[in-house]
């Protein structure tokens, strides 16, 4: 039984605003969302057009929802941007990385290599993207590789308003991003959310390399918990402080400008430690075990070389770092996104039992 009654009058699921993004992603993942129709927002709920309603209780088990018929506006069909670019600039060898871009709030960030694509073409691409959607106000370009401990990309302005700051939203969490002065990666949204819903109620958490604080903000939005959020970059911590004021948080975040190595004295204090400095996270694993309470969990993100068996490689690296630790258990190893043709990211959760 499919839900379509007329072309745009269909069954819909009404979700409270605070759960809408989580529900939208679940519906998308299970092919239940009708993406040709525009969701409708009322004061309390967001209504999503759905294909079928029978699996909803199982899928949205911790979210309250209503099911009813609704007439939705039909989405104006736009040609995907990569097709537009290929048509407009047929002479350019568009490869996968040059076509990838991120949207952070109302800013689009491209990755067009300045040595391969001239400034005038980069700017024309920027204008084209700007005209693509009214929600986009600024187009920027990561013009070189990431730099320094703060992991900031050199950024050039291509089109629209000349600014680098915006409110970005993930799962109902508002994050102030300052692209010129502090690192932020929207592709980790699912991980930020996963950690926040992984049983952290009442826990004490350390986010060793917090950046503008996405892990800390997700955790504090979701649960009554204490989070110590450290970053060496004062601009990143300033952005986090702005986000703390903007969001209604259940938990407490304590933002600290410091080198994470200076926290050695907080011996056996934390139930959960997040290490996201993916070039070097694994080097901090041994330090983290000293800061962790018995039964605590370390979640870390590490770049490794591409290999036939990435899980085996990361296990080897972990055991070489933890030679003095008696017992730990692997809770989760996930082979994540590709960073470059030769490197991938792995996401790891380890439970320390002693
Ligand atoms: C990859 S970013 C992670 C940011 C954040 N966790 C996220 O998911 O968006 C790494 C962060 O570590 C910070 N950092 C680098 N070295 C540090 C150190 N020794 N102590 C504290 N922070 C450091 C950088 O300033 C940067 O914001």
DSSP structure string for 3-72: --SSSSEEEEEEEEHHHHHHHHHHHHHTT-B-TTB--EE-SSEEEEEBS--TTHHHHTTTS--EEEEEE-
Protein residue with least CA distance to atom 17, ligand 1:
232
Q: How far is the CA of 220 from the centre of ligand 1 (A)?
A: 19
Cα-to-centroid distance, 279 and ligand 1 (Å): 11
Which residues, 6 or more positions from 47, have their beta carbon under 8 angstroms from its beta carbon? 12, 13, 14, 15, 39, 40, 41, 68, 70, 72
The set of residues, in sequence order, having a beta carbon less than 8 Å from that of 223 and lying 6+ positions away, is 196, 200, 201, 202, 203, 250, 251
Task: Looking at the CA of residue 213, tell me the nearest atom of ligand 1.
Answer: 5
pLDDT of 350 reads 96
Measured in Å, residue 353 CA sits from the centre of ligand 1 at 27
Fold entry, domain 81-163:
GMP Synthetase; Chain A, domain 3 (3.30.300)
Looking at residue 146, what is its pLDDT? 67
Pocket flag, ligand 1, residue 210 (CB < 6 Å): yes
CATH 3.40.50.150 in the chain, residue ranges: 183-352
Q: Is the CB of 185 under 6 A from ligand 1?
A: yes
- Residue range(s) of every CATH 3.30.70.2580 domain in the chain: 9-71
pLDDT band at 7 (very low <50, low <70, confident <90, very high): low
Choose one of 147, 181, 231 to mutate for the ligand 1 pocket test, by most ligand atoms within 8 angstroms of C-beta. 231
Give the tens place of pLDDT for each residue, 87-135.
888 877 766 556 678 899 999 998 888 888 889 988 998 998 888 788 8
Return the percentage of the chain with pLDDT > 90, whole number.
Answer: 61
What pLDDT is attached to residue 3? 44
Give backbone dihedrals phi and psi of 106, rounded to 5 degrees, phi first: -100, 20
Pocket lining: 260 vs ligand 1, CB cutoff 6 Å: yes
Q: How many angstroms separate the alpha carbon of residue 238 from the centre of ligand 1?
A: 14
Q: Which of 344, 311, 222 is nearest to 272 (CA)?
A: 222
Q: Is 215 in the pocket of ligand 1 (CB under 6 A)?
A: yes
**Torsion over CA: 105, 106, 112, 113 (sign):** negative
The pLDDT of residue 116: 82
Check if 195 has its Cβ closer than 6 Å to any atom of ligand 1.
no
- pTM, entire model: 0.81
Q: What average pLDDT does this structure show over 328-351? A: 92
Mean pLDDT, the chain, whole residue set: 89
The Å distance, Cα 275 to ligand 1 centre, comes to 9
CA 184 / ligand 1 centre spacing (Å):
10
pLDDT digits over 21-57, tens only?
889 988 988 889 988 888 999 999 999 999 888 888 8
CA distances to 5, 191, 194, 292 from 315, rounded to whole Å, are 53, 20, 22, 20
User: What sign for the dihedral angle of Cα 10, 25, 296, 292?
Assistant: negative
Higher pLDDT, 326 or 351: 351
The C-alpha angle 167, 299, 96, rounded to 5 degrees, equals 60
pLDDT score at 280:
94
Q: pLDDT of 226-281, one tens digit each?
A: 999 999 999 999 999 999 999 999 999 999 999 998 876 777 889 999 999 999 99
pLDDT band with cut points at 50, 70 and 90 for residue 1: very low
Fold assignment, 183-352 = Rossmann fold (3.40.50)
CATH dotted code for 9-71: 3.30.70.2580
CA of residue 138 to ligand 1 center, whole Å: 25
Q: How far apart are CA 113 and CA 98, in angstroms?
A: 7
CA distance 214 to 225: 15
Weakest mean pLDDT among 65-74, 90-99, 204-213, 261-270 = 90-99
The pairs formed by 303-308 with CB atoms below 8 angstroms and a separation of 24 or more are 303/278, 303/279, 303/339, 303/343, 303/344, 303/345, 304/343, 304/344, 304/345, 304/346, 305/342, 305/343, 306/338, 306/341, 306/342, 306/343, 306/344
Give 2 or 217, the one with higher predicted confidence.
217
- Is ligand 1 within 6 A of the CB of residue 259? yes
- Protein residue with least CA distance to atom 20, ligand 1: 259
Under DSSP, is residue 91 helix (H, G, I), strand (E, B) or coil?
coil
Average pLDDT over residues 291-302: 95
Residue 277 Cβ < 6 Å to ligand 1:
yes
**Dihedral, 238, 239, 243, 249 alpha carbons, nearest 10:** -60
Distance 273 CA to ligand 1 centre (A): 14
User: Does residue 211 line the site of ligand 1, with CB under 6 A?
Assistant: yes
Using a 6 Å cutoff on CB, does residue 183 contact ligand 1?
Answer: yes
Rounded to the nearest whole angstrom, what is the distance from the C-alpha of residue 208 to the centroid of ligand 1?
7
Q: Which residue is associated with the tokens 């986010």?
A: 207
Domain with CATH 3.30.300.110 in the chain: 81-163
The rounded distance, in Å, linking the Cα atoms of 100 and 21 is: 22
The answer on pLDDT for 315 being more than 70 is: yes
Residue nearest atom 9 in ligand 1 by C-alpha distance: 184
């Amino acid at each position: 039984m499919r839900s379509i009654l007329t072309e745009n009058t269909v069954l819909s699921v009404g979700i409270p605003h605070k759960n809408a993004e989580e529900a939208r992603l679940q519906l998308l993942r299970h092919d239940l969302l009708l993406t040709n129709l525009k969701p409708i927002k009322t004061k309390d709920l967001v209504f999503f057009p759905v294909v079928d309603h029978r699996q909803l209780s199982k899928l949205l088990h911790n979210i309250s929802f209503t099911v009813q018929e609704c007439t939705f506006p039909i989405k104006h069909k736009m040609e995907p941007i990569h097709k537009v670019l290929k048509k407009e600039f047929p002479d350019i060898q568009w490869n996968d990385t040059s076509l990838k871009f991120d949207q952070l709030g109302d800013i689009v960030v491209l990755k067009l290599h300045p040595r391969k694509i001239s400034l005038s073409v980069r700017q024309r691409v920027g204008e084209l993207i700007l005209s693509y959607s009214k929600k986009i106000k600024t187009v920027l370009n990561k013009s070189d590789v990431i730099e320094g401990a703060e992991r900031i990309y050199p950024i050039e302005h291509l089109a629209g308003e000349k600014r680098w700051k915006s409110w970005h939203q993930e799962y109902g969490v508002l994050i102030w991003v300052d692209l010129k002065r502090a690192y932020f990666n929207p592709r980790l949204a699912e991980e930020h959310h996963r950690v926040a819903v992984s049983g952290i109620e009442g826990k004490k958490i350390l986010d060793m390399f917090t950046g503008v604080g996405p892990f800390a903000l997700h955790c504090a939005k979701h649960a009554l918990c204490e989070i110590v959020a450290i970053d060496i970059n004062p601009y990143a911590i300033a952005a986090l402080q702005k986000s703390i004021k903007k969001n209604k948080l259940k938990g407490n975040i304590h933002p600290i400008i410091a080198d994470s190595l200076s926290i050695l004295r907080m011996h056996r204090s934390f139930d959960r430690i997040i290490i996201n400095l993916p070039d070097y996270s694994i080097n901090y694993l041994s330090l983290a075990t000293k800061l962790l309470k018995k039964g605590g969990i370390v979640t870390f993100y590490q770049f490794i070389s591409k290999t036939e068996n990435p899980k085996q490689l990361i296990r080897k690296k972990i055991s070489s770092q933890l030679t003095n630790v008696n017992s730990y258990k692997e809770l989760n190893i996930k082979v994540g996104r590709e960073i470059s043709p030769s490197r991938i990211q792995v996401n790891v959760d380890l439970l320390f039992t002693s």
